[in-house]
Structure 1
Amino acid sequence: MKIETLPEEFIKARPIIDTIEAAGYAAYYVGGSVRDTLLGLPIHDVDIATSAYPEEVKALFKRTVDTGIEHGTVMILDHGTGYETTTFRTESGYQDYRRPDSVKFVRSLKEDLNRRDFTINALALKTDGTIIDYFDGLTDLAEHRIKAVGDPEKRFNEDALRMMRAVRFASQLNFEIDPETIEGIKHHGPLLTKIAVERIHVEFVKMLLGQWPSKGLDVFMATGLYQYCPDFKAYQEQLNHLRDQLKRGLSNETAVWTLLASVFDLSWKQVNQLLKDWKSANQLIEDVQVATQAVSAISNHSVDDWLLYQTGSELLTIANEVAQQLDVFAYETPDLLNRYQVLQIHSKKELAVSGQDLMSAGIKPGPQLGQALSFLERQVVENHLNNQTQELLSAAIKFLNEKA
């Protein structure tokens, strides 16, 4: 097979391959960029595989970075773009079920492609558009099938994360997973516990961001992979229900975890624990806690001005998206955002008085100063007070006198 018109990304990278070939070595475009080109999808990183050994590659180019030289990968910098260029290699010994214990550089493209995960990712592309396909990946692409290269049992034993990659590709591409590959996932599911949670986290989120998330989630549940992910075993019923409920992918990672927290009916504290167990960043945890609270308010028709203010436009959009996914009551997002926009203030900094103003009016520094500011903030948000300096100063003094 030959691609007549290559995407611009490949054309820009061609001088790299031309330079390598002029020195007497072989070089090809490989990986996801080749697959996505054949599927008519946008391509991202252009990866190159070559028969040249790392030191031979480095000798051909002025600007290189040793991004993974122990595994044969050198980053070639060309006009502001980096191209990962990896020597053909074979691998052996995977005691951690993720990384090879040893890597052997070879001159054979076929040997190199033989170590890859799925046939649709084991395609190579020449600069003239010719596709090299040793493992019938073109047929699997045409038939929308995800199939392990060679023996799936061996592939998943080498790298257990490939099981999560399989369900992620099913979600992103709307492909079926080959029955033998499914069986391999079922047999090797427990090996997922050997993989760093952070890596599983990335693949799981990508799966739910795919256009057909129920496709990936179906295999994730049917093969039992969920059991080997942090805390998910306790939520089998909810995950199964979600599998039947999801119509489209989520917009971002915050939406993914907000959806799960809502489906699992988690408290503020439980959200924190779940996301800590999944090694999430603190900001993500805080955002999911706030957005989950907003989903509950939306579904219960109890969205008031204070909740709008506390949530903010970005998280309101996410919360409403999740409510729509769950087929509970949801607003038209523009209507919800308009309610937020017309609030008098959107942060405490927008109050017409500051702590300094209150002290100038005779209020002493200390806890009462903070109490007064918090009182004014809420009164303005809820439209009980106008955000005007004199009105707020009078209200603060009255508030503190009544408390005394």
Structure 2
Amino acid sequence: MTTSFGSAASHQVVQQLQSAGYEAVFVGGAVRDFALGKAPVDIDIATSATPEQVKSVFHHTVDIGIAHGTVLVLMQNEPIEVTTYRTESTYSDHRRPDQVYYVTSLKEDLQRRDFTINALAMTSEGEMIDLFGGLQDLENQLIRCVGCPAERFGEDALRIFRALRFSAVLNFRIEQETLQAMKGLSHELQHIAIERIKVEMDKLLQGKYPAVAFQYGREIGLPTLFPDLFSSFERLDVYAPFLHARHGWAALLLTSDATPAEIANNYKLSNEEKRFLKQCHEAACRRSHRKFNDLDLYHFSVDVLDIVERIHQVQHSNKEIVTREDLWERKNNLPIQHRSELSFTGNDLLKWSGRRGGKWTSEWISKIEEAVICRQVENDAKAIKEWFLYEISSEK
């Protein structure tokens, strides 16, 4: 282990709970990441104290999830989640447990968790508590359910997507019995709110190895349930470099028959993500007929042009490689980067032409903007005036 764990405030929370006579340990993903030598984030604490007992120990608390045993403790101006040891009943709505039962045993709390690598705990002194072989699975780079896989996925089918996500983030194999249970229960994902699936897909696409997750997704039959997510790529190894963050959603779009609106609506994408996909689609339509020109460089971000260009190169086996750096250089060398940089205004057009304002004004601003970008006229007021008067007179 190469990094220190937690903040002074989080350790103080653990120590105060212990001083009050309760058990308290660090749990969850932060402990897993620490065991992997990564900097832990989102520190969570589990305790034998009930929510009311936790609130009695600390002066400043917030009831953020008290129905499920979680209290937010404000310590040294730092918010720290403290959750009571618990077990859970069935998940009738496929999202939340019907009932939560508080327990005093750490083992009972850990055995309800999804995977062994997430069922680790650690004391404030740094002693690892590993009751289900999580450390060995970390060493073996293995994703394995705690206890019976069918029970874990039966409790919450979203855990199937979580397994895929961890395979993408960690580049871990999924243990065979766990994988078979995922395949057998994948149909249960149809009951999961699409917003929850979107969150897991975002995290999956942020991993360094998304192609691993997509391959597992195919193995367990997800192309049938989510054809626009898992049926797109002919060769995962070729498309793997493009499957990161919002580029991943663009790659899913550009390698499928789906429209931007279908992807956006099916997976509840944000307005910003919708705009990005729409721009990628528009740029891809242009790229299918010709290379990107100066107007494309002006109207689209390098992010959009880069992902469209790289996927086009793969799909058409282009020998000529256009890099992101090439696109940046060409974009930076454009005469202007924004309309506000033009050396004239709409009022200048009225003055030069002697006309009244109207729709023609905005149309000519756009024409001059394009002429400047395409280097048909210099971005200089005098040069623009001459060009404009000549062009407008030739329309008569």
- Does TM, scored on the shorter chain, surpass 0.5? yes
Letter in 2 for 1:120: I
Residue 223 in structure 1 maps to residue 220 in structure 2: yes
1:232 equivalent in alignment to 2:228: yes
- 1:352 maps to a residue whose letter is S
d(CA) in 2 for partners of 1:366, 1:400: 15
Structure 2 alignment gaps of length 5 or more: none
Change (3 A) 1:363 1:32: farther
Aligned residue in 2 for 1:359: 350
Change (3 A) 1:307 1:93: same
Q: Aligned letter for 2:236?
A: R
8 A contact 1:75–1:85 mirrored in 2: yes
Distance in 2 (CA, whole Å) between partners of 1:401 and 1:132 is 83
Residue pair 2:243, 2:249 contacting (<8 A) in 1 also? no
1:318-358 per-position Cα deviation (integer Å, ceiling 9, x unaligned): 44565577685441222210100111111222222222332
Tell me whether 1:245 sits opposite 2:243 in the alignment.
no
1:382 to 374, 377, 380: 374
* AA aligned opposite 2:161: M
Alpha-carbon deviation of 1:291? 2.8
Residues 1:98 and 2:95 are matched in the alignment: yes
Q: Which runs of 5+ in 1 are unaligned?
A: none
Q: Which of 338, 345, 349 matches 2:336?
A: 345
Q: Which of the numbers 149, 167, 171 marks the counterpart of 1:170? A: 167
State the partner residue of 2:275.
286
1:209–1:249: 8 Å Cα contact kept in structure 2? no
CA contact (8 A) 1:290 1:311 kept: yes
Question: Counterpart of 2:191?
Answer: 194
Residue 102 of structure 2 aligns with an amino acid whose one-letter code is: F
Q: Are residues 376 and 335 of structure 1, via their aligned partners in 2, closer, same or farther at CA, if it must alter by over 3 Å?
A: same
Q: CA deviation at 1:70?
A: 0.8
Taking a change above 3 Å as real, the CA distance of residues 324 and 64 of structure 1, as seen in their structure-2 partners, is farther
Alignment of 1:124-273 (within 5 A): 124-229=121-226, 231-232=227-228, 236=231, 238-239=232-233, 241-248=234-241, 250-253=243-246, 255-264=247-256, 270-273=259-262
Q: Distance in 2 between matches of 1:252 and 1:289?
A: 16
Shift of 1:286: 1.6
1:21 and 2:18 are equivalent in the alignment: yes
Q: 1:141 to 1:26 in 2, by over 3 A?
A: same
- Report how far residue 299 of structure 1 moved: 7.6
Distance in 2 of aligned mates of 1:24 and 1:327 = 67
* Secondary structure of the structure 1 residue equivalent to 2:6: helix
- d(CA) in 2 for partners of 1:73, 1:101: 16
The match for 1:50 is 47
**What TM-score does the superposition give when structure 2 sets the normalisation length?**
0.92
How many residues align structurally? 393
Percent identity over paired residues: 36
Confirm or deny that 1:72 pairs with 2:64. no
In the alignment, the residues of structure 1 paired with residue 283 and residue 43 of structure 2 have an alpha-carbon distance, to the nearest angstrom, of 41
Aligned AA for 2:376?
H
Deviation at 1:232, TM superposition (A): 2.4
**Cα distance in structure 1, aligned partners of 2:160 and 2:102:** 26
Asked if 1:336 corresponds to 2:333, the answer is: no
**More displaced, 353-362 or 147-156?**
353-362
CA contact (8 A) 2:5 2:34 kept: no
Q: Per-residue deviation at 1:29?
A: 0.5
1:30 to 24, 27, 31: 27
**Within the alignment, does 1:304 sit opposite 2:293 as a pair?**
yes
Cα distance in 2 between the residues matched to 1:363 and 1:193: 62
CA 1:47–1:226 in 2, change beyond 3 Å: closer, same or farther?
farther
Change over 3 Å in CA distance of 1:401–1:340 after alignment to 2:
same
Superposed CA RMSD in Å reads 2.3
Any idea what SS the aligned residue of 1:29 has? Answer: strand
Once the two structures are TM-superposed, the CA of residue 173 in structure 1 deviates from its matched residue by: 0.8
- Secondary structure at 2:145 match in 1: coil
Q: Return the alpha-carbon distance in structure 2 between the equivalents of residues 321 and 60 of structure 1.
A: 57
In the TM superposition, residue 296 of structure 1 has moved relative to its aligned partner by: 6.2
CA distance 1:242–1:261, shift in 2 (3 Å)? farther
TM-aligned CA deviation for residue 114 of structure 1:
1.2
Answer whether contact 2:5 2:39 (CA < 8 A) is retained: no
2: distance between equivalents of 1:33 and 1:152?
23
